[in-house]
Structure 1
Amino acid sequence: MLEAVRGHDHLAIARAITAIENRTALGTELALAVRERNNLCRTIGVTGPPGAGKSSLINALLQELLPRFHRVAILTVDPSSPISGGAVLGDRVRMAAHSANPNVFIRSLAARGHLGGVTRTTRSVMDLLSASGMEIIIVETVGTGQSEVEVADLTDIKIVVCAPGLGDEMQAIKAGILEIADLLVVNKSDLPDAARTANHLKAMLHHRGHEERRAVVSVSSQNGNGVSALVDAIEARFAALPFAASSTSDSDGYSRSWLARDVADAAAALVLHTPDYRIEASVERVVQGTLSRAEGINIVVGLLPEFAAARK
């Protein structure tokens, strides 16, 4: 399957992502195999409050990005279905105009109860897309607030989308999202109060001394105004990045908290996919009330080295 992924086979890429999301043995193997990210792949995080028009902006961005970059991937992090764990919102519903383009790959990732703006498997999926030859990967995150700062650990450029009339600029300050932005985009610039919103954001940047490092760009996803200028600003920031900024997923942005998540995921996969009577016995005893949950956890944690050794 890995060779098909590297050959830019969309069906193979989709199946590989599903395996990674479901944390199957194949998914774990693929995630390990693609950890070294392609030097030429650049990544963009798009975040912001609900209703700001993130998906509409990405749809407009694709019109400008495709003539400049050969292959573009879009990852949209959607709320999960409480029953299936699958993404509720459809990627092709929002970006249907580009879904048939062989140089565009669009995929929704289910948040699956994760509180952050990205899923626990987003990093591995991005590595896989890089291995498939993507030049640009755009990650659109759930509009949940402060936890969206996680996207800053994963992408080269961070775009925070605001819109007039939503009080987004104040919400951005309170949530801390403003601090991660490389570019602040005022979407729906054709609406009333758009200029006021842009000026408010510029004033906040000036107050915080961020004017040189961050820029405010006004765009309209509906009529395309300002989108070309936004892509110019993105390219300028790409050019200022070190060449190897995206060369590996294990160097930049990897933190103790991400390591803890990865370890927890690996441990969960071992428990879920290792048939062992001791696990079932512990679960049964907890259900019966003869064993506390803490005691059950300690028993299973003690078994993890044995399970890991058996998988080698």
Structure 2
Amino acid sequence: MDIVPGILKGDKRSIARLITLIENQADEARDLLKQLYKFTGNAITLGITGPPGAGKSSIVNFLAKKFRENNKKVGVIAIDPTSPFSGGALLGDRIRMQDLTLDDGIYIRSMGSRGALGGLSRASYDAVKVLDAAGMDYIIIETVGVGQSEVDIIKLADIVALVLIPGMGDEVQAIKAGVMEIADIFVVNKSDMDGADRLITEIQMNLDLNQDKNKVKPPILKTVGTTGEGIADLYKTIIDVQKQLQDSGMLTNKRKTRINQELQELIREIHLKQIISSFETQIRIFTEKALNKEIDLYSAAVYILENAKL
């Protein structure tokens, strides 16, 4: 089956082939994505982020099942080198998540993060488009939960759920303000542990201090990822938030902002490649000069950019 028609029919093998081409930066991937682009924009993207050990994979597992119970097709992208898909999680999590792959209405893919800071890779942006074109109703993106990926998730997700666990206490104060601001829903997982109510109070206090007073306060929910307790409420809240975003026009605004940001990033990425390719010889020469302390790196970079055809 040809890749594009296969993807439009929801064929898992075709989806996997294109995402692999994307990850390998194959030339043909760009043309295939171009053909698929007009079929995107229908899926709701849901970002699940939070610190390592918060139980994100368990929540994703139960949430995906809940979407399927409601006849929704689900794509899952795990951007986490320690996720069950790459073998880094507990065996129980890995087995539970792999059970989902037997369902024709679910597609799961593990993808690497970019660099040590865990920022989202270009491939993850394009993988979301592939799953969208394949007819997924919801695409769940689980991030590594450290560094840049927590903030980057807003560039991919319509709705962001931040998962926290008891025992963090004052650590909530240390969470990047940007992450607190982008969360549409707060999830206190492992809520059967001591300190769950205290954590909820910490979150509420943090929001009172830092959130825009004109914004609606995000809901704070309790879950137990090991048993699925609270997942039904989380599912209902996601649907409610989705409706609010759609009715208020905020969903369209979010997507417009994301498209603008991605376009700017692509321009920078393409332009940088063009400059480096055009000035390969000069870069080698200036590398030697910098090594011999004949020029500093900043001056070398300025020279190259000033002579580039901008």
TM-score category, normalised to shorter length: 0.7 to 0.9
Contact 2:223-2:229 at 8 Å conserved across structures: yes
- Find the counterpart in structure 1 of residue 62 from structure 2: 60
What are the ranges of 5 or more consecutive residues in structure 2 without an aligned counterpart? none
Contact 1:162-1:185 at 8 Å conserved across structures: yes
Aligned residue pair count: 293
Contact 1:5-1:131 at 8 Å conserved across structures: yes
Contact 2:47-2:140 at 8 Å conserved across structures: yes
Deviation at 1:217, TM superposition (A): 0.4
Task: Give the alignment partner of residue 44 of structure 1, picking from 21, 43, 46.
Answer: 46
Aligned to 1:139, the other structure's residue is in SS state strand
| Closer, same or farther: CA 88–95 of 1 in aligned 2, 3 Å | closer
* Letter of the 1:140 counterpart: E
1:205 and 2:203 equivalent? no
- The alignment's TM-score, normalised by the length of structure 1, stands at 0.78
C-alpha distance in 2 between matches for 1:141 and 1:37? 25
- Find the counterpart in structure 2 of residue 83 from structure 1: none
Matches within 5 A, 1:178-197: 178-197=180-199
1:223 and 2:227 equivalent? yes
Deviation at 1:21, TM superposition (A): 2.2
1:233 and 2:229 equivalent? no
C-alpha distance in 1 between matches for 2:217 and 2:184? 7
C-alpha distance in 2 between matches for 1:110 and 1:76? 8
| Closer, same or farther: CA 247–123 of 1 in aligned 2, 3 Å | farther
C-alpha distance in 2 between matches for 1:269 and 1:88? 34
Aligned to 2:193, the other structure's residue is in SS state coil
Contact 2:79-2:112 at 8 Å conserved across structures: yes
C-alpha distance in 2 between matches for 1:285 and 1:12? 45
| Closer, same or farther: CA 94–211 of 1 in aligned 2, 3 Å | farther
Describe the superposition over 1:181-239 as per-residue Cα deviations: whole angstroms up to 9, x where unpaired: 11000000111111211222223334444783311001111122111001000011112
* Letter of the 1:124 counterpart: D
| Closer, same or farther: CA 12–151 of 1 in aligned 2, 3 Å | same
Contact 1:43-1:136 at 8 Å conserved across structures: yes
Deviation at 1:132, TM superposition (A): 0.4
Contact 2:67-2:73 at 8 Å conserved across structures: no
C-alpha distance in 2 between matches for 1:171 and 1:97? 36
Describe the superposition over 1:2-59 as per-residue Cα deviations: whole angstroms up to 9, x where unpaired: 1111111111111111212222211211232333454531110111112211111111
Task: Give the alignment partner of residue 126 of structure 2, picking from 121, 124, 127.
Answer: 124
Describe the superposition over 1:251-277 as per-residue Cα deviations: whole angstroms up to 9, x where unpaired: 232345x444323443577699x9x9x
Output the aligned Cα RMSD.
Answer: 3.7
| Closer, same or farther: CA 232–261 of 1 in aligned 2, 3 Å | same
Contact 1:35-1:248 at 8 Å conserved across structures: no
Task: Give the alignment partner of residue 171 of structure 1, picking from 164, 169, 174.
Answer: 174
| Closer, same or farther: CA 114–9 of 1 in aligned 2, 3 Å | farther
Contact 2:18-2:29 at 8 Å conserved across structures: yes
C-alpha distance in 1 between matches for 2:86 and 2:227? 29
1:253 and 2:258 equivalent? yes
Contact 1:73-1:136 at 8 Å conserved across structures: yes
- The alignment's TM-score, normalised by the length of structure 2, stands at 0.79
Deviation at 1:288, TM superposition (A): 6.1
What are the ranges of 5 or more consecutive residues in structure 1 without an aligned counterpart? 81-85, 306-312
